[in-house]
Amino acid sequence: MPIWSAEIKELEKLYFSLKGQLPDLEKELERLIKADDENMILLYSRRCLEVIITDLCECELKRDRGSEPLKGILDKLHKERKVPAHIITSMHGLNELSTYGTHPKDFDPEQVKPVLNNLDIIIKWYLKYKNIVTVDKTEVDEEKTQLKKEPLEEVSIKERTEVQKKPAKAGERKLIYIMAISAILVIVAIIAYRNIFKRNTIEKLRSSGEKISVAVMPFQNMTNDTLWNIWQDGIQDILISSLSNSQELKIRQAEYINRLVESQGIVNYASITPSVASTISKKLNANLMIKGNIKQAGNTIRLYAQLIDPETEEVFKSFQIEGGCKEENMFHLIDSLSLIVKNFLIISELEKDIPVYYKQLVSTNSPDAYRYFVQGRNEYAKWDYLTAINLFSKALAIDSNFIQAINLTSLAYGNQFEYETMYSSAFESLYLYDLAKKWCLKAYEKMDQMTVHQKNNTNWIYNNYFGTPNDEIKYLRQLTESDDQSVTAYFNLGNAYNSLFQYDKAIPEYEKALEIYKNWDVKPFWVFDYAYLGDSYHKTGQYRKEVKLYKKAEQDFPDNPQLTGRQAILSLTIGDTVAANGYLKKFIAYAKGMSLPEAYIEALLADFYNEAGVLARAEEYYRQAFSLDSANSDRINDLAYFLIDKDRNINEGLELVDRKLVLSPGDFLLLDTKGFVLYKQGKYQEALKIFQKSWDIRREKAKYDHEAFLHLEAAKKAVANQKNN
């Protein structure tokens, strides 16, 4: 149990008190009480404070929040006596400590508690300030019951769908977003198709959808010492008793098994052949049977057990446990055997919906850890990354060497970055990359414990954060060589080539993934299998193929916003303005229905027009997005880079960038744009210096970006040419 659980419970009470009355604060507080990770708790505590301060700026200081540091605003509120001094003290305390979460670095987890205590004090004051009427205890209890049954489903749906509705970005400046999306795909696309992969023996037996049923035969004494005869039934009884405690399994009881044994005229258990055991198991409608024996080697007693398919008499799993040849050791040996058999069966039951490829990545002997992992994986697939992270942390608390739980935690933090950038700038959300990289390194440090398949997958994730697309391609190729039906590996190969602008190489990889789905006679898991291939067709001028592809995609994913966005770009490109307007109207309605920030919607529309080459309309939308959120560095950079890249107003673009760099001198996106201006002006030495600074910060804080790499290389070449001339 976290050391701050009591503080979270107090904040949970406040959450129910303000539910439905302060939506912005409610949203951040809800995410806070769901979080387990100390960094995320500090982050969302600060976000709660930001919501309150934004409101106080408007109500008390009569101005927008703007980009002024929080400390400065708190000082103004204190100086003008807008907020009581003791509340200002709590706000300062929360602000100072929470920075350890927004910019992760070493801190004592005990420091989370005063942050939460201060937040509790602040919110209670704020509720009085807003004259919020709190609900009574009965209502709170009812809400808590509902929360347990349906854990914030409405918000979870919103969070996962808001990511889904974001279409592929038009400009190459958006690669940082697209790269984040591709990190999702190594896992999510393979978890939804439980019926398209070759099943192992247990999955074949589980095809009816019922629980695994097991018949445990009496064990056979093969020691030639009658002392152990009593344990033939004893081991059977203890195994049945232990396995019966598992809700995931159906265990046939000993009295029915032994009655059938007797009906076969068997007196000596040594006469229970596999054929006889299979007959008994089938009469009991058991999916599996356990048959075992007791053997002795010198001073060692050994217990053997085999899991057998009654239909085929195939042995597909064997277990062995041994210890000192003393009768008093038997209970310990049987308990140990029972545990490993039970864990194997429960994990087999839990993983029944996971395809073979995915199972190659998962290894734990703990059913409880695996259960949390499966739950987390399901939330991950629904885009609820924070809940997934919490569940993975519970799995790791039980089994700290659970490699895939570590890897998915890393990917979940990286993908949460994508969600956060819809509401704040990419540069401001980079703390999530810090966490993603931290967890990636935790997995990487355990390479010596991994299978070959796990190593290749972990190396892919590692190079997604620390390497280059060429490094990713190496390990993705190894994954396809070990499993030529791995749709996700082919898809991510396409993404890797796409990020290198090698669209001709990306196309066959995307096409291979779709071909596999077609052979399986199932639709792809999600629309990106179509959208990214369509994007590559578009960039290579294969518009007819793109049209044909989208017609098929519409059948599998009707009214999907990503597809609608791609169709809008294609229609604008080929000059079909009627169709384009229809797609754009449809896209805007969807985006507004999901409460996407208006500035973000305008920026997406600008990207559509930009990729289609309709530059006048693109500039119009970039300017509208900027006017709606002029403090957001992404909106500034979008407009500035467009003006510079398309030679529409280089001086204005440079002025926008320089003004923002004064406030955010480490923003590598803005630095890259400034370097681009200098390069176009022929100031190669200055450009190289700026490009290098941007690149170094990018590689430390984020991921590889090929456009930025090409900028840097072009500047290096230009400087070298100047020196040679």
Tokens of 340: 């490993």
- Residue 27's pLDDT is what? 83
- On whether the CB atoms of residues 509 and 497 are closer than 8 A, the answer is yes
DSSP 451-504: -HHHHHHHHHHHHHHHS-HHHHHHHHHHHHHH-TT-HHHHHHHHHHHHHTT-HH
Evaluate if residue 359 carries a pLDDT over 60: no
Give the mean pLDDT of the chain.
81
589 vs 592: CA distance, rounded Å: 5
Instruction: Please indicate, yes or no, if residue 577 is contained in any of the structural domains.
Output: no
Residue 671 lies in a domain: yes
* Residues 95, 10 share a domain: yes
Contact 359, 353 (CB under 8 A): no
Residue that wins the pLDDT comparison between 472 and 132: 472
Q: Which distant-in-sequence residues (6+ apart) come within 8 Å of 382 by Cβ?
A: 156, 157, 160
Are 284 and 345 in the same domain?
yes
Is 241's pLDDT higher than 90?
no
Number of domains in the chain: 3
Give the CATH number of the domain where residue 241 resides. 3.40.50.10610
Closest listed residue to residue 567, CA positions, set 551, 589, 591, 590: 551
User: Does one domain contain both 18 and 121?
Assistant: yes
pLDDT in tens, 607-653: 999 999 999 999 999 999 999 999 899 999 999 999 999 999 999 99
pLDDT at 98 over 50: yes
User: Among 47-51, 203-207, 334-338, which is the least confidently predicted range?
Assistant: 203-207
Task: Kindly state whether residues 65 and 143 are assigned to the same domain.
Answer: yes
At 69, is the pLDDT very low, low, confident or very high (cuts 50, 70, 90)?
Answer: confident
pTM of the model: 0.61
Is 487 part of a structural domain of the chain? Answer: no
Q: Give me the residues paired with residue 213 across strands.
A: 250
Domain that includes residue 266, residue range: 201-352
- Report if residue 689 sits inside a domain: yes
Tell me, yes or no, whether 45 and 135 share the same domain: yes
Q: Has residue 682 been placed in a domain?
A: yes
Q: How many residues does the chain have?
A: 725
Helices (H) and strands (E) in the chain, counts: 34, 6
* Backbone region of residue 219 per phi and psi (left: phi > 0; alpha: psi in -120 to 50; beta: other values): beta
Among candidate residues 663, 658, 665, 610, the one with its CA nearest the CA of residue 638: 610
Task: Detail the DSSP E strand segments found in 504-599.
Answer: none
In tens, the pLDDT along 27-46 reads: 889 888 888 778 888 888 98
> What are the residues facing 323 on neighbouring strands?
301
Q: Which of 289, 317, 352 is the last residue of a domain?
A: 352
- pLDDT on residue 441: 93
Mean pLDDT across 156-173 = 36
Verify that 302 and 213 share a domain, yes or no.
yes
Instruction: Determine the Cα–Cα distance for residues 684 and 663; give it in Å rounded to an integer.
Output: 25
The 3-state DSSP class for residue 444 equals: helix
Q: Are residues 219 and 128 in the same domain?
A: no
Q: Is the domain of 246 the same as that of 329? A: yes
Same domain, 143 and 63: yes
Domain boundary among 352, 372, 396: 352
Identify which has the larger pLDDT, 637 or 268: 637
- Name the band, by pLDDT with cuts 50, 70 and 90, for residue 1: low
Residue 484 resides in a domain: no
Find the CATH number of the domain harbouring 112: 1.20.120
Task: Give 249's pLDDT tier (boundaries 50, 70, 90).
Answer: confident
Candidates 390, 343, 394; CA nearest to 364 is: 343
Q: Are residues 126 and 32 in the same domain?
A: yes
Residues 29 and 95 in one domain: yes
Q: Among residues 14, 122, 35, 137, which one has the least CA distance to residue 70?
A: 122
Q: What is the mean pLDDT of residues 253-273?
A: 78
pLDDT tens digits, residue range 179-234?
333 433 333 333 333 333 333 445 554 444 567 788 888 888 888 888 888 788 88
605 with 621: CB under 8 angstroms? yes
Q: Are residues 115 and 12 in the same domain?
A: yes
**283's tokens:** 């009469």
Residue 306: count other Cβ atoms within 10 Å of its Cβ.
18
CATH number at residue 684: 1.25.40.10
The pLDDT tens digits for 5-32 are 888 988 988 887 777 778 888 888 988 8
Does residue 206 fall inside a structural domain? yes
Res. 164 pLDDT band, cuts 50 70 90: very low
Write out the E strands in 158-299: 212-216, 220-221, 249-251, 288-297
Give CA separation, 431 vs 9, 37, 42, 460, 697, in Å: 26, 13, 12, 21, 13
Residue 286 domain-assigned (yes or no): yes
H-helix segments, 320-366: 330-350, 356-359
Domain boundary among 133, 149, 165: 149
